[in-house]
Amino acid sequence: MATIYEVSKLAGVSLATVSRVMNNNARVSDKTKQKVLDAMNELGYRPNASARSLASNRSDSVGIMVSELHGPFFGQMMAGIESELRAAGKHVIFTTGHSEEEREKDGIEFLMGRNCDAIIIHVEVVTDDYLVEVSQGNTPIYLLSRYVEQLKEKCISLDNEVGGYLATKALIDHGHNKIAYIAGPQFKADASNRLLGHKRALQEHGIEFNSDLLFIGDFKETGGSEGLKHFIDNQLSFSAVVCANDEMASGAMKYAREHGYTLPNDLSVIGFDNVIFANYLYPTLTTIDNPVEKMGRMAAKMVLTDIYKRKDLSIERVFEPSLILRNSIVESK
Partner DNA sequence: TTGTAAGCGTTATCAG
Partner DNA sequence: CTGATAACGCTTACAA
DSSP SS3 for 318: strand
Q: Is the peptide bond before 283 cis (omega within 30 degrees of 0)?
A: yes
Spatial distance between the Cα atoms of 62 and 299, rounded to a whole number of angstroms: 11
Contact partner, 199, from a copy of itself, DNA, none, Cβ < 5-8 Å per class: none
> Is 324 a residue that touches DNA (CB under 7 A)?
no
Residues 95, 99, 100, 102: is their CA dihedral positive or negative? positive
Q: Which is nearer to a copy of itself, 197 or 251 (CB)?
A: 251
Cα 231 versus chain centre, distance: 32
Contact partner, 23, from DNA, a copy of itself, none, Cβ < 5-8 Å per class: DNA
Q: Is residue 145 within 8 Å of 292, Cβ to Cβ?
A: yes
> Is 3 a residue that touches DNA (CB under 7 A)?
yes
Could you tell me the smallest distance in angstroms from the CB atom of residue 92 to DNA?
A: 20
DSSP SS3 for 135: helix
Among 310, 291, 317, 313, residue whose Cα is nearest residue 117: 310
DSSP SS3 for 217: coil
From candidates 2, 9, 43, 110, binder to a copy of itself by CB under 8 A: 110
* CA distances, 318 to each of 108, 168, 184 (Å): 24, 21, 21
Q: Which of residues 231-250 bind DNA (CB under 7 A)?
A: none
> Is 328 a residue that touches a copy of itself (CB under 8 A)?
no
> Is 26 a residue that touches a copy of itself (CB under 8 A)?
no
Among 149, 186, 142, 136, residue whose Cα is nearest residue 164: 186
Among 263, 206, 212, residue whose Cα is nearest residue 240: 263
Could you tell me the smallest distance in angstroms from the CB atom of residue 289 to DNA?
A: 42
Q: Which stretch binds a copy of itself (CB under 8 A): 2-10, 104-112, 227-235, 236-244?
A: 104-112
From candidates 16, 49, 315, 325, binder to a copy of itself by CB under 8 A: 49
User: Counting runs of H as helices and runs of E as strands, what totals does the chain give?
Assistant: 12, 12
Q: Which is nearer to a copy of itself, 92 or 155 (CB)?
A: 92
Spatial distance between the Cα atoms of 110 and 56, rounded to a whole number of angstroms: 21
> Is 23 a residue that touches DNA (CB under 7 A)?
yes
> Is 282 a residue that touches a copy of itself (CB under 8 A)?
yes
- The residues binding a copy of itself (CB under 8 A) are 1, 46-51, 53-54, 59, 61, 69-72, 74-76, 78-79, 82-83, 86, 91-96, 98, 107, 110-115, 138, 250, 254, 257, 276-277, 280-282
- The residues binding DNA (CB under 7 A) are 1, 3-5, 12-17, 19-20, 22-23, 25-29, 31-33, 45-48, 51-52, 54-57
